[in-house]
């Protein structure tokens, strides 16, 4: 990889240059934060984005598809023009094809013209995101089969749905029952589809233990969604017009006018791997606490392409979530801009909803705790989101894991109606602080009849867990 | 106080006896928890209650008055019959008139018959609650003037309102703009009254700093409530029929068909004081961490009659709140039943609402922090309860106090719409854990567009507070 490969090379400059690969949450947060700390006379910032959009909310796509969010542009937090107005040299539709680590430069291709050139850097931010897991199934590329990772994906799905609007008895099959799967099931129900969800796991939401996933399963069936669990898709069947017409499993065929793939994502680290940068067991880049790529003083990485430290298990995990990507970007931008910040890790908090059912989790599931070598007690309680006598009081189920002997909180899962999702934040903070379930029983949580029973459901679970630890034979 | 005072005396027994004074949350929780640990063959439990009800939710009274809760009995968590079925010798309408500490006995009067007798105890629980502050104003006892502390108060108010149902242009004046005042203003608006709130403070909700109280003020006016702040009531004017007809201040008269006093409460410690038990600066009983009255091995106290340790300021406070009373009862019952539990203290969390405006606070206000000798930074941010593009996204204002130099979180106040109240719990746990605002910026809080922007409002405030501490000149 010499400088004499015939390509133009942008190296001639007086100021320091920060190059950012990837123009979504992590990359552009890093760029913006660095710009806040260092003006353009001190730091040149060049950002490459291969797609059509910057800084958008992929998490918002299901609500755009459902119609709750009226148009695509509302999902864009900051446009390329806005970034450029802040003196960020943002090059859209330009894909970085190689990172030359020893040469401190990246090679990029303009996707419109095909032209390639090298750009040198003093500091590099890798924010290449994640790529959807697209199973190698016959028919997976047929018209009518859609992923929902990017705004382009969302637009393509909406175009398909618009063409189906006149069809009677429209049927949709969602493959996968994780966050994307259940949110897309809601979106398609709202658009008037008969929805079937085909799921490899024992229950939907494999980020929960199966006993809690069962509650989601029952609620989704109550919404009229057909749930097919413990089942792998074998192929996608197409009609004479080449469009998808059904999803086939070992045992059955599920007719479909449209198929949505919600199977999850993997870190997009092809470039990083080719450059010899360190990857973890889940395929994500490994960083230090300042989000520097391990062993590389002038390269940072963040967002969906990195692994993060799970503070409860002490291990690296891969979690693709916009809120982490934004925090990473903030930390990277502070450090690359000459300041100081760290990202200590995560506890694995995630919230979602299917219609009015809210789903929340943080910390370890039973199998995570086993895998981490922990012995633990598990309790599950039922309570309500409001005082029992207050109008609209609805059931809430809280499952709590506590370490045997020490009583340290290990994880919480909650399924219920209004007020469920963000209640898990109490447990997220308690996990971060290393609290025991016994300490949690005394937490001074907000109480008023419209918002909680006199014992908040999280406290009820903590009391029961505390008793289990005390009596525990584990 | 000899045993030869002519009264009958109940001392003859084989088992240990626990006597409880007060049959509401703290007292009956203590009795129930002790009973769970010790059967009736080991522990006799006698409880005295001077009123007509046990274990009821005083916090629910505004919602009963508003009509949200259809009947009184729904506010009763456990009836006297249910307590008796658990082998608790509950004596209703029986008032304890004296505690003889050296004699280990209490004197009680049957309010129906007037008969008095002594009951000896091995262990005593004082759970005498609080009494409403009833200002000594001319006219305060006139018909149409109501407190709202007890179920009897609530019933009397409802009877008054029922009699006014046919009146055109019904007008209510609420005196006081704390939790009870604002909740009663909502209840009366819902019942179709023109409502005026007369408040001595600069702004409503003096548990907030005035700048945050101002937001409540504006929202209440937006609901059609007339707010009169910085104004003391001088007298209540009555009509020819003797009923209240107006509330008078130095400058004006506010016509009223009904007046609700929501001025707050003081610890009810008349008995305890007469018995020489230790009281704090706010008139509440002082206990140790096991809720034992200081210096008395066999006397416990809890609920609205005690002072609690504020973990942030390091001082005792008086907070009348059902959730604390229940926790106290649990702790007392565990200890009196031969187990072990402690109540470490509070951080001062409180939540409320006026129609769809939610109000939350925890930790110290500016004046509390000054009084505690703390130097601090204050920041206020505006964000939304959901992702900005998600339907129903509404403004949320978060104020945060952090200690200068250390950056330790000192307090949070939040005013906004749905999702505001319980968001304060994040800060309550962080305060309990002694987190700094910088540590808080990395908290792994639940994120999904229906529940939070990608940066939760609490994190936005923590980031700003962290910057303020770093740059701070305080």
CA–CA separation, B3 vs A136, rounded Å? 91
pLDDT confidence tier of residue B13, bands split at 50, 70 and 90: low
Global pTM reads: 0.95
Q: Which residues of B233-250 are buried (b: 16+ CB within 10 A; e: fewer)?
A: beebbbeeeebbbbbbee
Q: What is the pLDDT of residue B347?
A: 98
Does residue A180 sit at the B interface (CB-CB below 8 Å)? no
Q: How far is A171 from chain B (nearest CA, A)?
A: 26
Q: Which residues of B touch A448 (CB under 8 A)?
A: 59, 179, 350-353, 421
CB atoms A425 and B423 under 8 Å: yes
Question: B103 and B121 in contact (C-beta within 8 Å)?
Answer: no
Q: pLDDT tens digit string along B225-268? A: 999 999 999 999 999 999 999 999 999 999 999 999 998 899 99
Distance from CA of B154 to the nearest CA of A (A): 16
Matching residue, tokens 């406290």: A459
Alpha-carbon span B18 to B15, nearest angstrom = 10
Which pLDDT tens digit goes with each residue over A349-393?
999 999 999 999 999 999 999 999 999 999 999 999 999 999 999
B contacts of A419 (beta carbons < 8 Å): 422
A321 close to A129: Cβ distance less than 8 angstroms: no
Vertex A84 angle, CA A81 and A87, to 5°: 160
Task: Look at A425 and B424 and tell me if their CB atoms are within 8 Å.
Answer: no
Least Cα separation, residue B14 to chain A (angstroms): 30
Q: Report DSSP letters for B339-382, one per residue.
A: -------B---EEEEETTEEEEEEE--HHHHHHTT--EEEEEEE
How many Å lie between the alpha carbon of A4 and the closest alpha carbon of chain B? 44
B395 touches chain A (CB under 8 A): no
Q: Return the number of CB contacts < 8 Å for A and B.
A: 210
Q: How far is CA B362 from CA B204, B411, B421, in A?
A: 17, 6, 11
Query: Over its length of 474 residues, how does chain A's per-residue pLDDT go in tens digits?
Result: 445 577 777 765 678 999 999 999 999 999 999 999 999 999 999 999 999 999 999 999 999 999 999 999 999 999 999 999 999 999 999 999 999 999 999 999 999 999 999 999 999 999 999 998 888 899 999 999 999 999 999 999 999 999 998 888 999 999 999 999 999 999 999 999 999 999 999 999 999 999 999 999 999 999 999 999 999 999 999 999 999 999 999 999 999 999 999 988 999 999 999 999 999 999 999 999 999 999 999 999 999 999 999 999 999 999 999 999 999 999 999 999 999 999 999 999 999 999 999 999 999 999 999 999 999 999 999 999 999 999 999 999 999 999 999 999 999 999 999 999 999 999 999 999 999 999 999 999 999 999 999 999 999 999 999 999 999 866
Closest Cα of chain B to A77: distance in Å? 9
Residue with tokens 């909502």: B186
Partner residue facing A59 (CB), from B327, B349, B449 = B449
Q: b/e per residue, A31-45, with b = 16+ CB within 10 A?
A: bbbbbeebeeeebbb
CA atoms lying within 13 Å on the CB side of residue A211: 14
B274 shares contact with chain A (CB less than 8 Å): no
- Chain B residue numbers touching A455 (CB-CB < 8 A): 323, 326
Chain-centre distance of CA A399, in angstroms?
A: 23
A422 vs B7, which has greater pLDDT?
A422
What are the chain A neighbours of B68 within 8 Å (beta carbons)?
390-391
What is the four-CA torsion angle of A104, A110, A115, A117, rounded to 10 degrees?
-10
Kindly state whether A344 is in contact with chain B, defined as any CB-CB distance less than 8 angstroms: yes
Chain A residue numbers with beta carbons less than 8 Å from the beta carbon of B446 are 349-351, 360, 362, 421-422, 424-425, 428
Cβ–Cβ < 8 Å for A300, A124: yes
Q: What's the distance, CA A46 to chain centroid?
A: 26
Burial class (CB in 10 A: 0-12, 13-18, 19+), A12: exposed
Give every strand in the sheet of A89-92, ordered side by side.
Answer: A89-92, A43-49, A16-21, A123-126, A299-301
Substitution target from A393, A449, A458 for chain B, most B beta carbons within 10 A: A449
CB B83 within 8 A of CB B28: yes
User: In order of start, what are the domains of chain B with their CATH numbers?
Assistant: 8-131+266-336 (3.50.50.60), 145-263 (3.50.50.60), 350-471 (3.50.50.60)
pLDDT in tens, B20-61: 999 999 999 999 999 999 999 999 999 999 999 999 999 999
Cβ atoms within 10 Å of B433's Cβ, excluding its own = 18
Establish if A14 touches chain B: CB-CB under 8 angstroms: no
In eight-state DSSP terms, residue A23 is -
Q: Are strands A357-363 and A350-354 parallel, antiparallel or unpaired?
A: antiparallel
Specify the pairing of strand B105-110 against strand B94-100: antiparallel
What's the pLDDT at B264? 87
3-class DSSP state for residue A91?
strand
d(CA B371, CA B368): 5
How far B131 CA lies from chain A's nearest CA (Å)?
Answer: 20
Q: Best mutation site among B446, B450, B452 for testing chain A: the one with the most A CBs within 10 Å?
A: B446
Six-digit token string for A165 = 């609007």
Q: Is there a contact between B444 and A346 if contact means CB atoms under 8 Å apart? A: yes
Q: Are B189 and B225 in contact (CB under 8 A)?
A: yes
Catalytically annotated residues of B: 59
Q: Is the pLDDT of residue B182 over 80?
A: yes
- Long-range CB contacts (within 8 A, 24+) of A215-220: A215/A397, A215/A415, A216/A182, A216/A354, A216/A357, A216/A359, A216/A415, A219/A354, A219/A357, A219/A415, A220/A182, A220/A185, A220/A354, A220/A357
Q: In angstroms, what CA-CA distances link A400 with A198, A362, A377, A443, A447?
A: 28, 10, 8, 16, 21
Exposed (0-12), middle (13-18) or buried (19+): which is B251, by Cβ within 10 Å? Answer: exposed
Which value does ipTM take for this structure?
0.95
**Tokens 């006995």 sit at which residue?**
B105
Please say whether the beta carbons of A174 and A263 come within 8 A.
no
User: Does the distance separating the beta carbons of B391 and A74 come in below 8 Å?
Assistant: no
- β-sheet bridge partners, residue B381: B398
Most B CBs within 10 Å, among A62, A409, A448, A455, to test the B interface: A448
- Give the phi and the psi of residue B187 in degrees, each rounded to 5: -60, -40
| B471 and chain A in contact, CB less than 8 A | no
Sheet with B299-301, side-by-side order of all strands: B89-92, B43-49, B16-21, B123-126, B299-301
Structure-derived torsion over alpha carbons of residues A318, A324, A325, A330, reported in degrees to the nearest 10: -140
Spatial CA neighbour of A212 closest among A347, A348, A378, A370 = A378
* Cβ <8 Å between A425 and B430: no
CB contacts, 8 Å: B323 with chain A: 445, 447, 454-456
Return residues 87-126 of B near A (CB < 8 Å). none
| Most B CBs within 10 Å, among A444, A449, A450, A458, to test the B interface | A444
């Amino acid at each position: 990889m010499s400088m004499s490969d015939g390509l133009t090379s942008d190296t001639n400059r007086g100021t320091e240059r920060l190059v950012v690969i990837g123009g979504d949450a992590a990359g552009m947060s890093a760029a913006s934060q660095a710009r806040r700390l260092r003006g353009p006379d001190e730091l040149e910032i060049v950002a490459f984005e291969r797609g059509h959009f910057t800084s958008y909310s992929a998490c918002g796509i299901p609500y755009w598809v459902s119609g709750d969010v009226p148009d695509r542009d509302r999902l864009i937090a900051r446009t390329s023009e806005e970034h450029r107005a802040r003196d960020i040299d943002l090059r859209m539709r330009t894909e970085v094809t190689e990172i030359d680590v020893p040469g401190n430069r990246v090679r990029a291709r303009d996707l419109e013209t095909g032209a390639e050139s090298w750009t040198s850097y003093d500091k590099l931010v890798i924010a290449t995101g994640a790529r959807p897991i697209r199973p190698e199934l016959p028919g997976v590329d047929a018209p009518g089969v859609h992923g929902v990772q990017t705004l382009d994906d969302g637009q393509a799905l909406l175009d398909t749905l618009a063409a189906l609007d006149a069809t009677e008895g429209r049927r949709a099959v969602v493959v996968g029952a994780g966050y994307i799967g259940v949110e897309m099931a809601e979106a398609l129900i709202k658009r008037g589809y008969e929805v079937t969800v085909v799921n490899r796991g024992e229950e939907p939401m494999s980020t929960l233990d199966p006993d809690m996933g069962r509650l989601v399963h029952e609620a989704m069936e109550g919404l009229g969604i057909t749930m097919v669990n413990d089942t792998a898709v074998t192929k996608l069947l197409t009609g004479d017009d080449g469009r998808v017409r059904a999803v086939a499993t070992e045992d059955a065929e599920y007719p479909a006018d449209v198929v949505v793939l919600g199977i999850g994502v993997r870190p997009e680290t092809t470039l990083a791997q080719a450059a010899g940068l360190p990857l973890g067991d889940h395929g994500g880049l490994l960083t230090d606490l300042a989000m520097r790529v391990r062993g590389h003083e002038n390269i940072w990485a963040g967002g969906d392409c990195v692994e993060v430290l799970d503070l409860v298990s002490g291990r690296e995990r891969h979690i693709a979530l916009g809120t982490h990507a934004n925090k990473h970007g903030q930390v990277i931008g502070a450090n690359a801009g000459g300041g100081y910040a760290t990202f200590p890790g995560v506890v694995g908090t995630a919230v979602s909803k299917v219609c009015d059912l809210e789903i929340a989790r943080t910390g370890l599931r039973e199998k995570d705790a086993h895998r981490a070598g922990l012995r633990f007690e598990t309790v599950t309680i039922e309570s309500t989101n409001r005082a029992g006598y207050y109008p609209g009081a609805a059931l809430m189920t809280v499952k709590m894991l506590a370490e045997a002997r020490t009583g340290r909180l290990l994880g919480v899962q909650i399924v219920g109606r209004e007020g469920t999702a963000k209640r898990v934040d109490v447990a997220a903070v308690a996990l971060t602080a290393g609290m025991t379930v016994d300490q949690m029983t005394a937490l001074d949580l907000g109480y008023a009849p419209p918002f909680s029973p006199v014992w908040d459901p999280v406290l009820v679970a903590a009391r029961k867990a505390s008793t289990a630890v005390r009596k525990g034979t584990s």
